[in-house]
Amino acid sequence: MTATTDGSPGAMKPRAAAASECADHHHTDNTRAPDVIDSPGLAATPGVTDAPDVLAAARRATDRAVEHLLAQQDDQGWWKGDLETNVTMDAEDLLLRQFLGIQEEKTVLAAALHIRGEQRDDGTWATFHGGPGELSTTIEAYVALRLAGDLPDDPHMERAAAWIRARGGIGASRVFTRIWLALFGWWKWDDLPEMPPEMIFLPSWLPLNIYAFGCWARQTIVPLSIVSAKRPVRPAPFALDELHTNPRLRVPRKRLAPPTSWEGVFQRLDKALHVYRKVAPARLRGAAMKSAARWIVERQENDGCWGGIQPPAVYSLIALHLLGYDLDHPVMRAGLESLDRFTVWREDGARMIEACQSPVWDTCLATIALADAGVGPDDPALVKAADWMMSEQIVRSGDWAVRRPGLEPGGWAFEFHNDNYPDIDDTAEVVLALRRVAHPDRARIRATVDRAVRWSLGMRSRNGAWAAFDADNTSPFPNRLPFCDFGEVIDPPSADVTAHVVEMLAVEGMADDPRTRRGVEWLLAEQEPSGAWFGRWGVNYVYGTGAVVPALTAAGLPTDHPAVRRAVTWLETVQNDDGGWGEDLRSYRERGWAGRGASTASQTAWALLALLAAGEQDARSVERGVSWLAATQREDGSWDEPYFTGTGFPWDFSINYHLYRQVFPLTALGRYVHGEPTYPGLDVREGT
């Protein structure tokens, strides 16, 4: 692929200014029946008149959205929207503070206000907007409210307890919930799976070593192995008899699976580890806990957090405290202070805990959106964003180097502070954002990007694709361990991350590089029979398809390629009657939900990005989608989106990125109005 004189890859087609012809002659109305799911609170179904009117509406919506997004930029150059998950973050924060004896009335009352506000009419708490009640989440929320002073006979608590008992009580909850309860004597440590700290000594080539787990899992498992070894019990301020169906407080005995099955093997392994606990040499166990503590402390970030995410910070603080670190120790003090930075205070006095913060991700996506929407590439806002992103590039090794020793660092993390765990997805999108900016220091851009490209190429897995944080993190064993019953604990390559890397490489003039072609081949092989792609880090098939199609066409696949046409057909088939697109998180468990859900701004944008990249600029499906975005935009230029369209663990942990509803619609509208993106930050001589 070569670059044109304006820095954009060749064969990019701008949209005609008038857009006067509608392509109904080759697209039928394949929207689905109206009884799939309602979209409450949205504007009436937008009517499509003729293309000039749609284009004019898109331009007005784009201008408003640009103004709104620019106003949200921080003075330092970054953007960050709230990252909303579920109330387990708030409940576990209160449990941590109770365990450490640092509860403050203001914090407790504010957290309780938020948790109560998330309870549904049936007494439960869900893990995503509109989702079903979830047992472990409901148990943790209930316990947190008890800590805040709510009584078991309060009507909202009675409803929750009755629902919990009807679904098996505490004994049916996940392992991590029962670990929290064991800390206060509400559950027996003997009835939990063993996590021996000696696993810290396993070499990286052995199964079940800590680097066989995804980075988010290993950061949690290492401190929990100390907690499991210590088995602390702090006196509980009340009993939880109302949440038990089994008076012995035990998990109902499960028949052992055959020893020839993997389930049977790991059940027997857990039994053996329970026996080992009783005979473990004290010196070996002590050395293992010291090594684990050293591993934890070495990975504390400059701001005091661990990995830029809340759960490892919580467990690390408990583990270190059990090993004698007092609350005034610099490591503990910095860790506790970091948790306060995950706090979002609402206008009503409620306090929500973010599981993570996403400034790098939000900033690169905002930069792309504004550039594609027509903001000048040398606009001060974009230059300032580029400066901030370049300052965040990670130039020291992290855990990823265990599998890629000798590879020069050069990636970006998701968060403000997370030098140990840069991710390939952020790195690809930051490069794409930097190339959209006409920065005055082109040499600095070039050096930054070159380093990032080398690191990204070095992080490719053996199958030719890319995962989020590690290379070849694909062992089948960690997910089979009894204590791994909550979400993904490995990090295999995914279509969405691979697509972003392929798109980045294509923009860098490497479309014909064998490594890029191998990525393209992997993506083509991963296409579902329906024509969609699975979305690992966004919900779900709409997200995956919205990432892959632009990557394939950027890498040179013609828009009439069978894979592209199948994707277009699928997107048109699942378009909602109101013109938008949506997908419920239940699609991770039930294929019948694929592409089904209330229309959302972010998912509508993802579908439009795929269709526009596929050459469907004048298709009626595109005009209807653009009309939906224009009609549902708020007066201030933003969109409302209560639905969760981000993914931490498919189904098990869902995310509502509050900036998604701004950046992705603006990107889609910008490309509809202005055509495919250009790359003024790319030197002509580089695009070879």
Per the DSSP assignment, residues forming a β-bridge with 412 are 423
Token pair of 668 as six digits? 């889609």
CB 362 within 8 A of CB 313: no
pLDDT, position 12: 37
Residue 313: closest CA among 96, 88, 540: 96
User: For the residues of 159-183, what is the DSSP string, one character each?
Assistant: HHHHHHHHTT-GGGS-HHHHHHHHT
pLDDT, position 28: 32
DSSP designation for 126: B
Scan for tokens 């857990």, then name that residue.
Answer: 270
User: Which amino acid, one-letter code, is at 508?
Assistant: E
pLDDT, position 456: 98
pLDDT band at 659 (very low <50, low <70, confident <90, very high): very high
pLDDT, position 44: 38
CB 555 within 8 A of CB 493: no
569-578, pLDDT tens digit by residue? 999 999 999 9
In terms of Cβ atoms closer than 10 Å to its own Cβ (0-12, 13-18, 19+), residue 257 is: middle
User: Which amino acid, one-letter code, is at 511?
Assistant: A
CB 360 within 8 A of CB 366: no
440: left (phi over 0), alpha (psi -120 to 50) or beta: alpha
- CA dist 329 and 306 (Å) reads 16
pLDDT, position 682: 83
Scan for tokens 């970030």, then name that residue.
Answer: 301
Catalytic residues: 425
CB 57 within 8 A of CB 579: no
C-alpha neighbours within 13 Å on the C-beta side of residue 152: 10
pLDDT, position 10: 34
Q: How many helices (H) and strands (E) does the chain have?
A: 22, 5
* 5, pLDDT greater than 50: no
Scan for tokens 């990670």, then name that residue.
Answer: 394
Average pLDDT, the chain: 91
- CA dist 56 and 204 (Å) reads 58
Its sign, for the CA torsion 487, 492, 497, 499, is: negative
577-610, pLDDT tens digit by residue? 999 999 999 999 999 999 999 999 999 999 999 9
Residue 427: closest CA among 512, 497, 491: 497
> Distances in Å between the alpha carbon of 166 and those of 122, 155, 222, 423?
12, 17, 34, 42
In terms of Cβ atoms closer than 10 Å to its own Cβ (0-12, 13-18, 19+), residue 155 is: exposed
Structural domains in the chain? 1-71+532-688 (1.50.10.20), 88-353 (1.50.10.20)
pLDDT band at 63 (very low <50, low <70, confident <90, very high): very high
pLDDT, position 17: 39
* 192, pLDDT greater than 50: yes
pLDDT band at 404 (very low <50, low <70, confident <90, very high): very high
Residue 177: closest CA among 86, 47, 103: 86
* Percent share of the chain, pLDDT over 70: 91
69-87, pLDDT tens digit by residue? 999 999 999 999 999 999 9
Token pair of 676 as six digits? 């495919």
SS3 for 382-441, per residue?
HHHHHHHHHHCCCCCCCHHHHCCCCCCCCCECCCCCCCCCCEHHHHHHHHHHHCCCCCCC
Neighbours of 110 (CB within 10 A): 21
Neighbours of 272 (CB within 10 A): 11
Token pair of 207 as six digits? 């199964």
Its sign, for the CA torsion 651, 652, 655, 656, is: positive
- CA dist 5 and 618 (Å) reads 27
Token pair of 375 as six digits? 């903001």
Cα-to-chain-centroid distance, residue 194? 29
pLDDT, position 254: 67
3-state helix, strand, coil in the chain (%, to 5): 50, 5, 45
97-142, pLDDT tens digit by residue? 999 999 999 999 999 999 999 999 999 999 999 999 999 999 999 9
User: For the residues of 568-607, what is the DSSP string, one character each?
Assistant: HHHHHHT--TTS-B---GGGGT-GGGTT-S--BHHHHHHH
Token pair of 431 as six digits? 């490069």
Per the DSSP assignment, residues forming a β-bridge with 300 are 306
Scan for tokens 């008992």, then name that residue.
Answer: 165
User: Rounded to two decimals, what is the model's pTM?
Assistant: 0.91
